[in-house]
Amino acid sequence: MTLRQNILITGASSGLGEGMARRFAAKGRNLALCARRTERLEKLAAELTAAHPGIKVVTRTLDVTDHDRVFTVFEEFRAELGSLDRVIVNAGLGKGQPVGTGRFDANRQTLAVNFVAAAAQIEAAAGIFREQGSGHLAVVSSFVALRGFPGHLTAYAASKVGISAYVDGARIELKRKGIAVTDVRPGYIESEMNDRIGRNPLLAKAEHGARALAKAIEAEPARAYVPAWPWVPLSVVMRLLPGSLLRKIA
């Protein structure tokens, strides 16, 4: 397994991004962390460097919908760390409303962040990796990338189906360049995005979820459902579930 020492994580100020940053810092990796909330990033960076004095943590403010800045920030991180060995495209949005209810604004924003902005991050990372001749791109999609979903999940699922297909195509293209690509599909993990789920027996604790994500990404598979239990077997069930039943549980 290739050691990926310098790791960039977008959306790192909270939730899954923050959890992964903590796990990789504990492994002695250098981190490039970016998000919109600079104060939270700086606090996290100070905490991680104090707990793990041997690592370097650099931060930047980044709104991933500012596509030009995505490319600029990624290049700045590479210059500061000397290289980027792994990029984790994690920034995402869980907003969404049922189709036709007058909330196209929410659905458009969800699609813009989870698909278009994610594609910009993939492009920026892949360009750097092509120049380096190596790297690992991990894109945090979702379990719902399996199919279309109704209700408030419609736009969200569509964005994740789309970006997973984009990742599949990138994997085929970049493999011959020595670049590994992973489609990471988390199930329900405690985070700000999943606050509205409430009590759910399938909701993994944040620490367990972050550990499972880091472990899955380190293995660099083509695709990973995280945590593996129960989401691997549920992925089979979900593909076969009739739409009438899906509407009742979504």
Helical spans, DSSP H, in the chain: 15-26, 38-51, 67-81, 104-111, 118-132, 154-175, 206-219, 228-240, 243-249
Output the six-digit token pair for 65.
């919908």
Assigned domain for 79 exists: yes
Residue whose token pair is 């894109």: 139
166 has catalytic annotation: no
| Under 8 Å between Cβ of 41 and 59 | yes
Inside any domain, residue 1: no
The active-site residue out of 156, 166, 188, 225 is 156
On whether residue 185 sits in a domain, the answer given is yes
User: Does residue 10 lie in a domain region?
Assistant: yes
What CATH number is associated with residue 137? 3.40.50.720
- Long-range contacts from 201-207, C-beta under 8 angstroms, 24+ separation: 202/230, 206/15, 206/19, 207/19
Number of Cβ atoms within 10 Å of the Cβ of 152: 20
Lowest-pLDDT choice from 148-162, 165-179, 189-203: 189-203
Is 157 inside a domain boundary? Answer: yes
DSSP conformational letter for 113: I
Domain that holds residue 101: 6-249
Q: What is the pLDDT of residues 203-217, one digit of tens each?
A: 788 889 899 999 999
Tally of domains in the chain: 1
Quick: pLDDT tens for 73-92: 999 999 999 999 999 999 99
